[in-house]
Amino acid sequence: MQHVVIAGRYRLLEPVGRGGMGRVWRALDEVLHREVAVKEVLPPNWLSEPEGDELRRRTLREARTAARLRHPNVVRVYDVVPVDGDPWIVMEYVPSRTLQDVLNDEGPLDPARAAGVGRALLAALRAAHAANVLHRDVKPQNVLVTRDGQIMLTDFGLATFEGEDGILTRPGMVLGSPQFVAPERAAEGVSSVETDLWSLGATLYAAVEGRPPYARGSAVATLAALATD
């Protein structure tokens, strides 16, 4: 899809990331002549058709809500556009590494540096929660570290599917990042300010210890540990 233009204005230049819910492209906004990041949101193929449609609708709605956020520690959402039925989220492009990349390359952070990361992320979440926006997936992969050390939280506006069975919507399948999911969300599928803050705490634990607090050999084992340990 490289160099394809979507929504009549965003030219895809190169893929810069991929996750369980889609992939991220560096792109050029040909109307405003600026680089942007564009996330192609792809519902997991194990969701039923009604569940996939609901996820698309929620992603459009939540991305539009997240676009109201203005904070120096939050990656801005500029636009959300449907392409062939799937939502694409257009965001501020931030040349950076993820916190997970930093941990992989340099090892755990010293306490002072981790405290700085924590202050920045807490400020980002405080601004989001004041605007009635939940993140739902705070983790080192969603924390950006710029060349000059600025900390930014990304992936606001990405809805999760929380059905009657919670995060587990298929046997053995987990939508989200179980190592950083709060116990009540793992058990009941309920997101809140408190579950965002729990995920922040788990992220900071990983930053200083080099591993998540509840990492196990599989996603299901991790969720079991959250429920019982």
Q: Which secondary-structure segment (H or E) carries 146?
A: strand 143-146
Report which of 49, 5, 56, 45 is spatially closest to residue 28, judged by C-alpha positions.
5
* Residue written as token pair 């058990």: 187
* Residue written as token pair 């893929």: 15
Exactly one of 29, 137, 155, 196 is catalytic; which is it? 137
Give Cα separations from 92 to 41, 88, 221 (angstroms): 16, 13, 36
Structure tokens at 221: 């084992």
| Size (the chain), residues | 229
Tell me, yes or no, if 137 is annotated catalytic: yes
Q: Which sequence positions are flagged as catalytic?
A: 137
